[in-house]
Structure 1
Amino acid sequence: MKKDSRLSSVLHALLHMAEREGPVTSEELAVCMHTNPVVVRRTMGLLRDAGLVVSARGSGGGWQIMADLEQVTLRQLHETLGEPAIFAIGNRNETPQCLVEQSVNAALDDAFAEAEALLLERFSRITLAELAAEFQRRHAAYRQGQA
C-alpha cells in the first residue's frame, strides 16, 4: 500500500508560504514540493474551503495563508485532507469466517485504534507556528555553518 504523503506535502507548502510576504503561485509551490501545479491547486483548494488559505487569480496572484499559525494544528490539517488512513497496515480480511482470524483482527483493531488515538492527540498539540519556529532555528544554524 502506498503511503499518503499529503499531510507532509501540505506542511511543506504552508511553511514555504509562511516565509513569503505575498502570494505564492501554484507553480512555485509545485517546484518546492516536486509535484504538479494541478496537485497543488487541488490540495490548496481543500485548505481554502477550510478557511486556512485564500487565492487570487491573475498577475501577482497566488495562495496566501489566512489562518493564525498559532491556531492551526496538524490534526486540523489531517482532518481537512479528509482524514487519510494513519497506518498502511491492516487486517488481511475484514470479515473473516475463521475464528483464529477473528481473534487476530480484534487484537490488531484494538492496537491500531489505540495507536491512532495517541498519534491524533499528539497532532492536536503541534501547531504550524511550532514548525515554523523549528525551521527558523534550523535555518539560522545552517547559515552559521552548524548544520
Structure 2
Amino acid sequence: MKRDSRLSGVLHVLLHMAETEAPMTSEALAAMMKTNPVVIRRILAGLREHQLVCSAKGHGGGWQICRALADITLHDIYRALDEPTLFAMGNRTEAPGCLVEEAVNSALNHAFEEAENRLLEHFRRVTLAQLSEDFHQRMQARGFSGSHAHSIFPDDHSTSEQG
C-alpha cells in the first residue's frame, strides 16, 4: 500500500521556505522536492486557504510563510491537507453478525481511536518553530554554516550547500 507522504513533504517545503526571506517559486521548491511545480502549487494553495502561506504573482513573486513559525502546528498543516487518513490498517467486515469479528473489530476500533487521538494531540503540540530549531541544531552538529543544507549524500564528503 502506498503511503501518504504529503504531510512530510509539506513540512519539508515549509522549512525550506522558512530559511529565506524572499518568496520561493513553485519551480524552485519542486526542484528541491524532485516533483512537478503543479504538485507544489496544488498543495500550497490548500495551505493558502488556511492562511499558512501567502503567494504573490509576477517578477519577484512566489510563496512565503505568512504566520510566525511558532504559531503553526503540525495539526494546522494536517487540517490544511484535508486530514488525510492516519493509519492504513482497518477492520475486516466480510462476516457481519459474526461475534468473533465484532469482538475483534471492537478491540481494534478502540486501539485505532486511542492511537489517532494521541497522534493528533502530538500534532497540536509541535510547531514549525520547533522543527526549524531541530533542523538548525542538526546543521550545527554536522558543521554546516550558512542558511541550510538540503541534502548530503553519503559519498559526497564536501560541505557544499544546496537547497
The TM-score with structure 2 as length reference comes to: 0.84
Aligned partner of 1:103 in structure 2 is: 103
Moved more, 123-132 or 31-40: 31-40
Change (3 A) 1:107 1:25: same
Aligned partner of 2:30 in structure 1 is: 30
Q: How well do the aligned residues superpose, as a CA RMSD in angstroms?
A: 1.6
How much has 1:94 moved relative to structure 2?
A: 7.7
How much has 1:107 moved relative to structure 2?
A: 0.8
Aligned partner of 2:11 in structure 1 is: 11
Percent of aligned positions that are identical: 57
How much has 1:68 moved relative to structure 2?
A: 1.1
Query: For residues 46 and 9 of structure 1, what CA distance do their matches in structure 2 show?
Result: 14
Letter in 2 for 1:6: R
Q: Render the CA deviation track for 1:5-56: whole Å, top value 9, x for unaligned.
A: 1110110000000001100011111111121111100000001000111111
3-state DSSP class of the match of 1:60? Answer: coil
Query: For residues 94 and 58 of structure 2, what CA distance do their matches in structure 1 show?
Result: 49
Q: Which has the higher helix share?
A: 1
How much has 1:95 moved relative to structure 2?
A: 7.6
Letter in 1 for 2:68: D
Q: Render the CA deviation track for 1:99-142: whole Å, top value 9, x for unaligned.
A: 21121111111000000001111111100000001111111122
Superposition map of 1:1-147 within 5 A: 1-93=1-93, 96-143=96-143
3-state DSSP class of the match of 1:15? Answer: helix
Query: For residues 50 and 95 of structure 1, what CA distance do their matches in structure 2 show?
Result: 42
Moved more, 40-49 or 100-109: 100-109
How much has 1:93 moved relative to structure 2?
A: 2.1
Query: For residues 23 and 33 of structure 1, what CA distance do their matches in structure 2 show?
Result: 17
How much has 1:143 moved relative to structure 2?
A: 2.0
Query: For residues 52 and 95 of structure 2, what CA distance do their matches in structure 1 show?
Result: 39
